């Protein structure tokens, strides 16, 4: 049985067994376009992020409504995929 303080692991097809993270479908699916990367948790065992339009939708809806969930399309990814999405979708500092 998994201890609730232990990170959840997933088997990523590209990176093997890794700690899991949560991203919106836009961060997972958009290969080339810079989507922005908004992290929603700083806990290393609970990494969550979505792109700027998801943040706008969340604010419009006033929280995790059904409409927001449909728009966000949450995806579970491994921590390596999460870091790759972060690098790909974070605007370079000026």
Burial class (CB in 10 A: 0-12, 13-18, 19+), 13: exposed
pLDDT at 31 over 70: no
- Over residues 54-87, the pLDDT tens digits come to 999 999 999 999 999 999 999 999 999 999 999 8
Indicate yes or no: pTM above 0.85: no
CA angle 94, 78, 69 (to 5 degrees): 80
Which pLDDT belongs to residue 91?
Answer: 77
């Amino acid at each position: 049985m998994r201890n609730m303080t232990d990170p959840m692991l997933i088997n990523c097809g590209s990176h093997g067994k890794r700690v899991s993270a949560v991203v919106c479908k836009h961060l997972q699916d958009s290969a080339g376009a810079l989507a922005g990367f908004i992290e929603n948790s700083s806990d290393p065992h609970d990494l969550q992020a979505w792109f700027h339009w998801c943040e706008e939708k969340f604010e419009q809806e006033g929280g995790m409504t059904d409409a927001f969930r449909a728009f966000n399309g949450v995806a579970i990814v491994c921590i390596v995929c999460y870091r790759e999405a972060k690098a790909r979708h974070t605007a370079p500092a000026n």
